[in-house]
Amino acid sequence: MSEILGRIGYNGVAVEEPLAPDALHIVKAYLVHDQVARIRVRGVRDALGHLQAFGLGPIGDLTVREIREEAWLETWKASFNPIRIGAFLVRPTWSDADPGEAVVLSLDPGMAFGTGLHPTTQACLRALSHTDVAGKRVADIGTGSAILAIACAKRGAREVVAVDIDEVAVKEAKANAARNGVTIALSVGTAADLDGTFDVVLANIVAAVLQKIAADVAAHLAPGGRLVVAGIIATEEDETRSAFESCGLQAVAREQDGDWVALELTR
C-alpha cells in the first residue's frame, strides 16, 4: 500500500503504527490538489482493488480529504498552553502565566520533540521533581527540545551535557537553553559520545533504541547514580528492563501513564 500511495505522494508516505494489537496501520500520502488529483486518486483506488484480489489481509477503504491552508504556527500555538508537571511549570515563550513556586520551563520546541505535553516527557519531569540534581553532573540523551536538560540546569545541576542525533533538534535546544538563561553543553551525538560518568542520566527515547544503547548508557552512570528512561510502551517494558539489568543496573521506581512506562534505575 505504501508503494501504491508513493506513486502519487508528495515527498513519500507516512505510516502510522497502531498501539492496539488488533488495530490496522494507517498509510497516508499527501498530493497537490490540482486538475489531475482526481485522476491520481482513481488510479490508487484501482490499484488497491487489484491488491485485495491477492487476499493479503484486511485492506480498509481509501478516504480522501482536503487540507486547507492555515497559519500552522498560529494554530499550533493555540493548542500549547501552560501546564504544571510536578515541580515545574512548562509554558510557551509567549505566555506570562504565573508560576507560583514552580520552576518555569519556557519553551518553543519548534521542530524538536518535547513540549511537556507527551506522557513520556511528563513522567521524566515528575521523576526529576523528586530527584536531587543540585550540584550533580547530568547527561540528557536524545535531548530533543532540551526540556529535561533545562529542568536540571534550573534545579541547580553543576553541569548538564545533552546530545541528540538530530542537528535540527540541537539547534532548537540551544535556542531554548538561551531563552531560559541556562548553560548546557549541547552537541550532535549519541550515548557513546559522552565523556566520563554522570550522577543523573536521562534518556527519553523509544524502547527499541534504549535496548540497543543500554550498554553505552550504563557505562556513563556513576556508582550510586540515577538513570531515568522513558518512551517505553508497556508491552516492551520487560525487554527494556532486562537490557539494563544485564548491564548491572536495578530498577528502583516505575511509573505508568496509559500505555507508556518510565523506569528509574541505579547501579
Q: Is the pLDDT of residue 112 over 60?
A: no
How many Å from the N-terminal Cα to the C-terminal Cα in the chain? 47
Q: Is the pLDDT of residue 13 over 90?
A: no
Confidence (pLDDT) at 246: 98
Whose CA is closest to 259, among 232, 239, 241?
Answer: 232
Alpha carbons 94 and 145: distance in angstroms, whole number: 16
Phi, psi of 157 (to 5 degrees): -60, 140
Confidence (pLDDT) at 22: 77
pTM of the model as a whole:
0.74
Confidence (pLDDT) at 109: 60
**At residue 231, what is the residue type?**
G
| Cα dist from 72 to 64, 69, 76, 79, 128, whole Å | 21, 8, 6, 11, 32
DSSP annotation of 183: -
- Work out the pLDDT band at 58, boundaries 50, 70, 90: confident
**Taking residues 152-165, what's their average pLDDT?**
98
**Taking residues 120-143, what's their average pLDDT?**
97
Domains and CATH numbers, the chain: 2-52 (no CATH), 113-266 (3.40.50.150)
Confidence (pLDDT) at 51: 84
List pLDDT tens digits, range 62-101.
Answer: 899 888 776 666 666 777 789 999 999 999 888 888 999 9
Confidence (pLDDT) at 57: 74
Higher pLDDT pick, 72 / 218: 218
Higher pLDDT pick, 174 / 12: 174
Q: Is the pLDDT of residue 110 over 70?
A: no
**Taking residues 218-226, what's their average pLDDT?**
98
| Cα dist from 19 to 54, 120, 165, 236, whole Å | 26, 15, 25, 12
**Contact indicator for 125, 88 with CB cutoff of 8 Å:** yes
Confidence (pLDDT) at 87: 97
List pLDDT tens digits, range 172-201.
Answer: 999 999 999 999 999 999 999 999 999 999
User: If DSSP states are collapsed to H, E and C, what string results for 142-184?
Assistant: CCCCCHHHHHHHHCCCCEEEEEECCHHHHHHHHHHHHHCCCCC
**Contact indicator for 109, 73 with CB cutoff of 8 Å:** no
Q: Which of 76-85, 144-153, 178-187, 217-226 has the lowest mean pLDDT?
A: 76-85
